[in-house]
A and B are shown apart, each in its own frame.
Chain A
Amino acid sequence: DAGITQSPRHKVTETGTPVTLRCHQTENHRYMYWYRQDPGHGLRLIHYSYGVKDTDKGEVSDGYSVSRSKTEDFLLTLESATSSQTSVYFCAISDRSGFTGELFFGEGSRLTVL
């Protein structure tokens, strides 16, 4: 299994509080991704990174920011959490871009915003 660790695995917070989810990899892969998964929507890309300090938006990036200061860590921050951000968040990594890139996923972080 690819070495991907997400933390925390479960979090309950209140509306308006900041939340940071961490994705840590031991594979030295260049590409890292944050997805959210909601019933009826499948997985949707929030942000991704193609290198240290290189990030870009996905299809549902509003309300989220990311940072990648080291190859192994990709942080997802909700500056002011809202109930609509209650979801399961998955981090993924890949060593290649484009059509040959296989994604390896973490086990997910379940976030509940009350």
Chain B
Amino acid sequence: DAKTTQPNSMESNEEEPVHLPCNHSTISGTDYIHWYRQLPSQGPEYVIHGLTSNVNNRMASLAIAEDRKSSTLILHRATLRDAAVYYCILRDDYGQNFVFGPGTRLSVLP
């Protein structure tokens, strides 16, 4: 699986937008970009995924660079409940393994 690189930690103020970056310079044409997050003392939960086009759902937006070598998870208005570790993962149609790296620990300040 291709690797991703994320900042170790980020901080945001409550009710402000948050942009979580992910670099994946070795991404292949069949790799989908997935984001999961893990709240304290819980298992990871799905956030969003995409291939080429930007994606929106009720939780977040995913902006994918035109060359697909990077992407950004956007939380439009951070809440205290969004404090979690966010994982950016690449997955193709053949692999069963989601490779979870260390992720980005997001702190949300009131």
Contact = CB atoms under 8 A, between A and B. Distances in A.
A45 B44 contact: no
Nearest to B95: A98
A99 B101 CA distance: 18
Interface stretch (A12-20, A62-70, A78-86, A101-109): A101-109
Contacts of B100: 35, 42-44
A45 B97 contact: yes
A56 B91 CA distance: 18
B30 interface: yes
Contact of A98 (B41, B43, B45, B94): B94
A85 to B, nearest CB: 19
Which range holds the interface residue count of chain B? Answer: 20 to 34
Given A56-B96, A103-B46, A105-B43, A40 B36 contact: no
A92 B89 CA distance: 16
A74 interface: no
Nearest to A44: B100
B87 A42 contact: yes
Contacts of B49: 99-100, 102
Interface string B21-32: 000000000111
Contact of A99 (B43, B92, B99): B92
Given A50-B96, A56-B96, A90 B43 contact: yes
Contacts of B7: none
Interface of A: 31, 33, 35, 40, 42-45, 48, 50, 56, 58-59, 90, 92, 97-108
16 contacts: A42-B103, A43-B100, A45-B96, A45-B97, A50-B96, A56-B96, A90-B43, A92-B43, A98-B94, A99-B93, A100-B49, A102-B46, A103-B36, A103-B46, A105-B43, A108-B43
